[in-house]
């Protein structure tokens, strides 16, 4: 463990980059927590002003390393994230945490967990925590998460931990916002490791078997080893399996070391740049799609002509694909 280094001013990162004009963006870049909270709320509300804000902070981002932590319920993720945060803080880095729970309108769990954490880390200016539920993010939880990560990055967090609760499609998309992804496997999983093979296994850079003192933990580790042996993938990186007991502070330093190793591997191999560029490309296409929807498609659905075609489609005299053709701009109709 090293001494906590003095926090560097976020502006130090890009002295050649002009400061943005809106006061809230300037406050955010100076590390102001209230400004960060406010901007994230604007992101969550899909406020129209958020685009220019995000544009103005964009030049000051890209320095934070993003670590995703995901996996099925019961793995002790929250405690693990808390203890990992402590280890990273001890190493001198500032930590942003985004806790995403697509089911939160039901569980209320994220909110409660958030409150507990807030108390634990309340006195530490080097930690900033935000939880997000699915509400108000119809189809855009991953985008909202990516923008929130950028806010934490801009305010000077060196590492951003993205914790996703649950294992559905939305969680996979959220996990895709990370540079390195740790998948936390609960020991004693009903159907064994085989049951969680699909989807989540492919995104794992590191496996964590938390609750390593559980009687089933070694079984999970050996199942994972078998699985990795069957799917070597031919890559240069073989996901390590890290055993932790977060409640007893066991294995967290090892996990942090593995994350750093993976980060170095990504940087060295050019894979970090590649992954980030793929994400950026997806984001650009999403922005373009939203703009086309808002400025081309939606206005065309507001015409009398469209209402008439919709009525014909409802009466089964046209089909949805034909009507879609009619609202497309020239040059974008089907090639058949």
Residues from 277 through 336 that contact a second copy (CB under 8 A): 277, 280-281, 283-285, 287-289, 291-293, 295-298, 301, 310-311, 313-314, 316, 319-325, 327-329, 331-335
Q: Does residue 55 interact with a second copy by CB under 8 A? A: yes
Task: Identify the three-state secondary structure at position 30.
Answer: coil
Closest CA to 252 of 111, 110, 112, 95: 95
| Smallest gap from residue 43 Cβ to a second copy (A) | 14
Give yes or no for residue 49 binding a second copy (CB under 8 A). Answer: no
- The answer to whether residue 139 forms part of the interface with a second copy (CB under 8 A) is yes
CA dihedral 56, 102, 223, 179 (to 10 degrees): 0
Among 8, 9, 17, 19, binds a second copy (CB under 8 A): 17
- Choose one: 2-10, 19-27, 55-63, 204-212; the region binding a second copy (CB under 8 A): 55-63
Decide: 66 and 100 in contact? Cβ < 8 Å. no
* Sheet strands side by side (includes 206-209): 127-133, 95-101, 159-164, 65-70, 180-184, 206-209, 241-243
Contact in structure between 42 and 49 (CB atoms under 8 Å): yes
230 and 197 in contact (C-beta within 8 Å)? Answer: no
Please answer whether residues 10 and 64 qualify as being in contact, where contact means their C-beta atoms are separated by less than 8 angstroms: no
User: Residue 269: helix, strand or coil by DSSP?
Assistant: helix
Cβ-based nearer residue to a second copy, 86 or 197: 197
Cβ distance to a second copy smaller for residue 226 or 281: 281
Considering only residues 175 to 214 of the shown chain, the ones binding a second copy according to CB under 8 A are 191, 195-200
What residues between 149 and 168 interact with a second copy by CB under 8 A?
Answer: 166-168
Q: Which of 9, 41, 62, 264 binds a second copy (CB under 8 A)?
A: 62
Interaction mask 227-256, a second copy, x per CB under 8 A: ------------------------------
Q: Footprint of a second copy on residues 73-112 (CB under 8 A)?
A: 102-103, 105-108
Which letter, b or e, does each residue of 201-224 get, where b requires 16 or more Cβ atoms within 10 Å of its Cβ?
bebbbbbbbbbbebeebebbbebb
Q: Which is nearer to a second copy, 8 or 249 (CB)?
A: 8
């Amino acid at each position: 463990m090293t001494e906590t280094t003095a926090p560097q001013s976020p502006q130090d990162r890009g002295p050649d980059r002009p400061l943005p004009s809106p006061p809230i963006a300037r406050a955010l870049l100076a590390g102001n927590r209230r400004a960060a909270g406010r901007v994230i709320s604007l992101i969550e509300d899909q406020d129209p002003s958020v685009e220019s804000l995000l544009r103005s902070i964009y030049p000051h981002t890209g320095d934070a390393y993003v670590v995703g932590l995901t996996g099925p319920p019961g793995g002790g993720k929250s405690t693990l994230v808390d203890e990992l945060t402590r280890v990273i803080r001890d190493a001198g880095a500032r930590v942003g945490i985004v806790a995403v729970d697509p089911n939160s309108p039901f569980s209320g769990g994220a909110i409660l967990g958030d409150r507990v954490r807030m108390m634990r880390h309340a006195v530490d200016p080097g930690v900033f925590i935000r939880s997000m539920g699915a509400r108000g993010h119809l189809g855009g939880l991953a985008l909202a998460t990516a923008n929130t990560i950028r806010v934490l990055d801009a305010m000077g967090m060196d590492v951003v931990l993205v914790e996703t609760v649950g294992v559905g499609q939305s969680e996979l998309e959220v996990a895709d916002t990370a540079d390195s992804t740790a998948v936390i496997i609960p020991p004693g999983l009903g159907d064994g490791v085989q049951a969680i093979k699909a989807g989540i296994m492919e995104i794992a850079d590191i496996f964590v078997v938390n609750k390593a003192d559980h009687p089933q933990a070694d079984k999970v580790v050996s199942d994972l080893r078998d699985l990795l042996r069957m799917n070597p993938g031919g890559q240069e990186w073989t996901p390590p399996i890290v055993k932790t007991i977060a409640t007893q502070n066991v294995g967290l330093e090892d996990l942090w070391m593995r994350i750093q190793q993976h980060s170095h591997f990504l940087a060295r191999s050019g894979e970090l740049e590649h992954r980030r560029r793929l994400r950026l490309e997806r984001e650009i296409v999403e922005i373009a799609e939203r703009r086309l929807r808002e400025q081309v498609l939606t206005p065309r659905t507001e015409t009398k002509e469209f209402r008439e075609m919709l009525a014909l489609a409802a009466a089964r005299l046209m089909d949805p694909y034909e009507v879609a053709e009619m609202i497309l701009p020239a040059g974008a109709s089907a090639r058949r």
